[in-house]
Amino acid sequence: MNKTWITVIRIAFFGIFLFLMLIGKPFIWLALYGLSLILALFFGRIYCGFMCPINTVMGPAEFLSKKMSIQTDKTPKWLSSGVFAWIFLALSIALMLIFKKALKIDLPIIPIWIAVGFLVTLRYKPHVFHNLICPFGTLQGIFGRKPLFSKKVDKETCIGCRLCEKACPSDAIKVSSETKKATITPNICHQCTNCKDVCPKGSILYNNAKQ
């Protein structure tokens, strides 16, 4: 699937998301997210790669960040352990339940995280939000830990050029300095096509992870 099609799919899902928010049915989107967790067992984190409205608005945020030269390669130290992603997940669930039970209000949790994702990506590389903050991504990572189908690197043809590393939004592909071969970590891979698109040797494949 080429980049244009992925953009069309992303915009279509973003439109569906906006429509559901406007008609006051955010729980339909959350149900879709729940379904995507089951799909992640088989096909990996396709929600993150194709559907997530947070990820969709992070694209323009990264563009602006680069344009204004305010993007940094650094990761805030306090986030680097990954613990805060779990705290944000627990906090999101707790706040949704409290607002619903005590105040009879549906907390707009996804729009809140869209705003956070946008602001964080104005300053930091996308993988900081994807891997260390996003509560939705944290759950996707559990279900997409060992998907049946996933992106894989053909070690025979990989030349270790690192182009895929630079193109990956979630820091999921790394080239070993010893073997000079790339390897993908499935639980943080969004199953997008960025690495595949730039690989000069056609070494990135999407197939049965057990093969």
Residues that bind ligand SF4 (CB under 6 A): 151, 153, 158-164, 167-170, 172-173, 175, 182, 184, 189-192, 194-195, 198-199, 201, 203-204
Q: Which two tokens stand for residue 141?
A: 């990572």
- Minimum CB separation of residue 95 from ligand SF4 in Å reads 29
How many Å separate Cα 53 from the centre of its chain? 10
Indicate the residue among 109 and 159 with the shorter CB distance to ligand SF4: 159
Q: Cα separations (Å) of 96 from 15, 105, 141?
A: 23, 9, 21
Beta carbon of residue 88, minimum distance to ligand SF4 (angstroms, whole number): 21
Residue 51 beta carbon to ligand SF4: minimum distance, rounded to whole angstroms = 14
In b/e form, how buried is each residue of 185-197, taking b as 16+ CB within 10 angstroms? ebbbbbbbbbbbe
Closer residue to ligand SF4, CB minimum distance, 3 or 201: 201
Of 65 and 170, the one with the shorter C-beta distance to ligand SF4 is 170
120/163 with CB nearer ligand SF4: 163
| Alpha-carbon torsion, ordered 94, 185, 17, 38, to 10 deg | -70
Given a contact cutoff of 8 angstroms between Cβ atoms, the answer to whether 53 and 110 are in contact is yes
Shortest Å, Cβ 156 to ligand SF4: 11
